[in-house]
Homo-oligomer: A and B are copies of this chain.
Amino acid sequence: MYRIGELATLCKIKTDTLRFYDKQGLFVPSSRTESGYRLYTKKDAQRLRFILRAKTIGFTLVEISELLSIELDKSNKACADVKSLVDLKLADISQKIEQLHYFKNALQQLSSDCCGGPESAQHCSILEALESTSSAKNRTNNGHHQAHSHATK
Protein backbone atom coordinates (compact mmCIF):
# COMPACT_ATOMS: atom_id res chain seq x y z
CA MET A 1 0.00 0.00 0.00
CA TYR A 2 1.37 3.37 -1.02
CA ARG A 3 0.31 6.69 0.30
CA ILE A 4 -0.10 9.52 -2.16
CA GLY A 5 3.37 10.97 -1.66
CA GLU A 6 5.07 7.62 -2.09
CA LEU A 7 3.24 6.82 -5.27
CA ALA A 8 3.94 10.30 -6.58
CA THR A 9 7.69 10.10 -6.08
CA LEU A 10 7.68 6.55 -7.38
CA CYS A 11 6.11 7.69 -10.64
CA LYS A 12 7.77 11.10 -10.74
CA ILE A 13 4.62 13.15 -10.69
CA LYS A 14 3.08 15.50 -8.17
CA THR A 15 0.61 14.61 -5.48
CA ASP A 16 -1.55 17.36 -6.95
CA THR A 17 -1.76 15.47 -10.17
CA LEU A 18 -2.85 12.32 -8.37
CA ARG A 19 -5.57 14.20 -6.51
CA PHE A 20 -6.61 15.75 -9.78
CA TYR A 21 -6.88 12.34 -11.44
CA ASP A 22 -8.87 11.15 -8.46
CA LYS A 23 -11.29 14.05 -8.72
CA GLN A 24 -11.66 13.42 -12.46
CA GLY A 25 -12.47 9.80 -11.77
CA LEU A 26 -9.57 8.76 -13.96
CA PHE A 27 -7.51 7.19 -11.22
CA VAL A 28 -9.22 6.56 -7.91
CA PRO A 29 -7.33 4.92 -5.03
CA SER A 30 -8.48 1.45 -4.00
CA SER A 31 -9.09 2.56 -0.44
CA ARG A 32 -8.63 5.23 2.18
CA THR A 33 -7.44 5.21 5.77
CA GLU A 34 -9.92 6.04 8.50
CA SER A 35 -8.53 9.55 8.52
CA GLY A 36 -9.06 9.86 4.76
CA TYR A 37 -5.57 9.27 3.36
CA ARG A 38 -5.56 7.74 -0.07
CA LEU A 39 -4.15 4.23 -0.24
CA TYR A 40 -2.89 2.78 -3.49
CA THR A 41 -2.10 -0.86 -4.21
CA LYS A 42 0.58 -2.26 -6.52
CA LYS A 43 -2.15 -2.84 -9.05
CA ASP A 44 -3.07 0.83 -8.78
CA ALA A 45 0.53 1.73 -9.45
CA GLN A 46 0.45 -0.39 -12.56
CA ARG A 47 -2.67 1.36 -13.66
CA LEU A 48 -1.00 4.71 -13.12
CA ARG A 49 1.96 3.70 -15.21
CA PHE A 50 -0.46 2.75 -17.94
CA ILE A 51 -2.03 6.19 -17.73
CA LEU A 52 1.31 7.97 -17.86
CA ARG A 53 2.46 5.93 -20.78
CA ALA A 54 -0.74 6.64 -22.64
CA LYS A 55 -0.27 10.31 -21.99
CA THR A 56 3.22 10.46 -23.45
CA ILE A 57 1.87 8.98 -26.64
CA GLY A 58 -0.64 11.74 -27.01
CA PHE A 59 -3.84 10.26 -25.65
CA THR A 60 -5.98 12.73 -23.78
CA LEU A 61 -7.16 11.95 -20.28
CA VAL A 62 -10.64 11.37 -21.65
CA GLU A 63 -9.37 8.82 -24.15
CA ILE A 64 -7.42 7.12 -21.43
CA SER A 65 -10.54 6.96 -19.31
CA GLU A 66 -12.29 5.28 -22.20
CA LEU A 67 -9.54 2.73 -22.50
CA LEU A 68 -9.57 1.99 -18.81
CA SER A 69 -13.32 1.88 -18.62
CA ILE A 70 -13.04 -1.26 -20.66
CA GLU A 71 -11.75 -2.83 -17.52
CA LEU A 72 -14.05 -1.18 -15.06
CA ASP A 73 -17.22 -1.93 -16.94
CA LYS A 74 -16.16 -5.32 -18.02
CA SER A 75 -19.00 -7.22 -16.43
CA ASN A 76 -21.57 -4.71 -17.63
CA LYS A 77 -20.63 -4.83 -21.25
CA ALA A 78 -20.95 -7.44 -23.88
CA CYS A 79 -17.81 -8.73 -25.50
CA ALA A 80 -19.02 -7.30 -28.75
CA ASP A 81 -19.03 -3.81 -27.28
CA VAL A 82 -15.59 -4.17 -25.84
CA LYS A 83 -14.26 -5.53 -29.08
CA SER A 84 -15.58 -2.70 -31.17
CA LEU A 85 -14.23 -0.06 -28.83
CA VAL A 86 -10.87 -1.75 -28.74
CA ASP A 87 -10.77 -2.07 -32.48
CA LEU A 88 -11.49 1.62 -32.81
CA LYS A 89 -8.60 2.49 -30.57
CA LEU A 90 -6.43 0.02 -32.42
CA ALA A 91 -7.05 1.80 -35.69
CA ASP A 92 -6.17 5.03 -33.97
CA ILE A 93 -2.93 3.67 -32.65
CA SER A 94 -1.96 2.09 -35.93
CA GLN A 95 -2.35 5.43 -37.62
CA LYS A 96 -0.24 7.12 -35.00
CA ILE A 97 2.46 4.53 -35.48
CA GLU A 98 2.37 5.12 -39.20
CA GLN A 99 2.73 8.86 -38.74
CA LEU A 100 5.60 8.35 -36.36
CA HIS A 101 7.41 6.13 -38.82
CA TYR A 102 6.99 8.83 -41.41
CA PHE A 103 8.61 11.31 -39.06
CA LYS A 104 11.27 8.90 -38.05
CA ASN A 105 12.24 8.24 -41.63
CA ALA A 106 12.43 11.92 -42.34
CA LEU A 107 14.60 12.61 -39.33
CA GLN A 108 16.83 9.64 -40.00
CA GLN A 109 17.41 10.80 -43.51
CA LEU A 110 18.13 14.25 -42.18
CA SER A 111 20.62 12.84 -39.72
CA SER A 112 22.40 10.59 -42.17
CA ASP A 113 22.53 13.24 -44.87
CA CYS A 114 24.09 15.59 -42.41
CA CYS A 115 27.87 15.54 -42.31
CA GLY A 116 27.70 16.38 -38.63
CA GLY A 117 30.60 18.78 -38.95
CA PRO A 118 31.03 22.45 -38.20
CA GLU A 119 29.93 23.56 -41.67
CA SER A 120 26.80 25.56 -42.31
CA ALA A 121 23.81 23.26 -42.52
CA GLN A 122 22.72 24.61 -45.85
CA HIS A 123 20.77 21.61 -47.00
CA CYS A 124 19.53 20.23 -43.75
CA SER A 125 15.78 20.51 -43.82
CA ILE A 126 13.03 18.35 -42.50
CA LEU A 127 10.81 19.28 -45.36
CA GLU A 128 13.44 18.25 -47.85
CA ALA A 129 13.78 14.98 -46.03
CA LEU A 130 10.04 14.51 -45.99
CA GLU A 131 9.87 15.19 -49.68
CA SER A 132 12.33 12.47 -50.40
CA THR A 133 10.77 9.94 -48.05
CA SER A 134 7.34 10.57 -49.43
CA SER A 135 8.69 10.37 -52.96
CA ALA A 136 10.41 7.15 -52.01
CA LYS A 137 6.99 5.92 -51.00
CA ASN A 138 4.77 7.33 -53.69
CA ARG A 139 6.88 7.36 -56.81
CA THR A 140 9.04 4.48 -57.87
CA ASN A 141 11.89 6.60 -59.17
CA ASN A 142 11.61 10.25 -59.95
CA GLY A 143 14.79 11.22 -58.17
CA HIS A 144 16.84 14.05 -59.60
CA HIS A 145 17.84 14.32 -55.97
CA GLN A 146 19.88 11.27 -55.00
CA ALA A 147 20.05 10.83 -51.20
CA HIS A 148 23.35 12.42 -50.14
CA SER A 149 22.50 15.80 -51.62
CA HIS A 150 24.41 17.51 -48.85
CA ALA A 151 27.90 16.91 -47.40
CA THR A 152 30.15 19.04 -49.62
CA LYS A 153 29.00 22.60 -49.86
The residues of A with any CB-CB pair to B shorter than 8 Å are: 43, 46-47, 50, 53-54, 56-58, 67-68, 70-71, 73-83, 86-87, 89-90, 93-97, 99-104, 107-108, 110-111, 114-128, 130-131
Among B58, B80, B90, point to the contact of A118 (Cβ < 8 A): B80
Q: Count the copies.
A: 2
Contact A75 B121 (CB under 8 A): yes
Contact residues of A: prevailing secondary structure: helix
Flag if B126 contacts A96 (CB, 8 Å): no
State which of B73, B93, B116 has its C-beta within 8 Å of the C-beta of A80.
Answer: B116
What CA separation (Å) do A124 and B73 show in the bound complex? 9
Question: A57 contacts B124, CB within 8 Å?
Answer: no
Cross-chain contact A79 with B111 (CB below 8 angstroms): no
With a cutoff of 8 Å between Cβ atoms, the chain B residues found around residue A67 in the complex are 126
User: Please, how many angstroms separate the alpha-carbon atoms of A122 and B104 in the complex?
Assistant: 39
Extra pairs beyond A58-B58, A79-B114, A79-B115 (6, CB < 8 Å): A56-B58, A79-B120, A83-B114, A86-B110, A86-B124, A100-B100
